[in-house]
Amino acid sequence: MHPSMHRNERGSFVYYTCDRLPVRHAFTTKFGGVSRGDCESLNLGFNRGDERENVLENYRILAEQLGMDEGRITMTKQIHDTQISVVTEGEAGMGLHQPMAWESDAIVTALPETPLCGFYADCVVTLFYDPATRTAGVAHAGWRGMAAGILPKTVEVMAEKLGAKRESLIAVLGPSIRQECFETDADVPEAMERLMGERVHPFIAEKGVKFHVDLQGIGVRLLTDAGLSPENVIDSGICTKCCADEFWSHRATHGHRGVQGGIICL
């Protein structure tokens, strides 16, 4: 685990934070909610077979524990693509208390008191914060989104639409499946190579007929190539599959799981 990352406990509510983000934020774990069965206990996904009332209560608990406005929690609509949406006042609360009107794997905002939430259970959720312009974002990247360049595209949208400064922008890559556990067929490294060319080779290990891909290393390289300072790009160092006692991992559970959230609020 990166030294700037910290495990926090508030009763049964367990979450991780990063020292480099001086705003309210969290990478949640399984713990602290009211769901049961495969989704026990802080499941934040409405599409996992959980009771809707349980999920809503989990969001209420999350907001209370982090001092956020539950009514303004705004969500991504994750389809493993590269659409990025700017959250304005009309979209605050979308996905939780307003119908979802977009399909965006990343959302960014300059609005205060508007928590942005992305979801993970092996995928890489990255939290963004620019102290120079008081702007924030969250991006979800499975291997398809990573190969399509969603992280540098999020940087571009924050810079162009919100005025974020690349030299001060901070990005924290959250808990996610790491290279040793992320075994793939050739299609994954081939997709990464189409984006990055030979620059991706250090992040791919060939093991027999399979490949092990370092999604976090690729993400860090893409972000620094996009103009972020290396010291402002933090890889949490936490593997969801290795730590499946604390995090839901899609691979560890063969899909029988809830989802965690990465959340940030100005």
Q: Which domain holds residue 100?
A: 5-265
CATH number for 91: 3.60.140.10
pLDDT at 221: 98
Query: 25, 18 in Cβ contact below 8 A?
Result: yes
Q: Which two tokens stand for residue 24?
A: 């309210």
pLDDT at 109: 98
Mean pLDDT by 10 residues, the chain (266 residues): 98 98 98 97 96 97 98 95 96 94 95 98 98 98 96 98 98 98 96 94 96 98 98 98 98 96 98
Number of domain units in the chain: 1
pLDDT at 3: 98
158: Cα within 13 Å, side-chain hemisphere: 37
pLDDT at 110: 98
pLDDT at 131: 98
Kind and range of the H or E element at 225?
Answer: helix 215-225
Distance of alpha carbon 63 from alpha carbon 218, whole angstroms: 32
Q: How many CB atoms lie within 10 A of CB 254?
A: 8
pLDDT at 236: 98
Q: Under DSSP, is residue 51 helix (H, G, I), strand (E, B) or coil?
A: coil
Q: How many CB atoms lie within 10 A of CB 187?
A: 12
Nearest to 119 by CA among 49, 30, 188, 27: 27
Q: Under DSSP, is residue 55 helix (H, G, I), strand (E, B) or coil?
A: helix
Q: How far is CA 227 from CA 115, 198, 242, in A?
A: 25, 19, 31
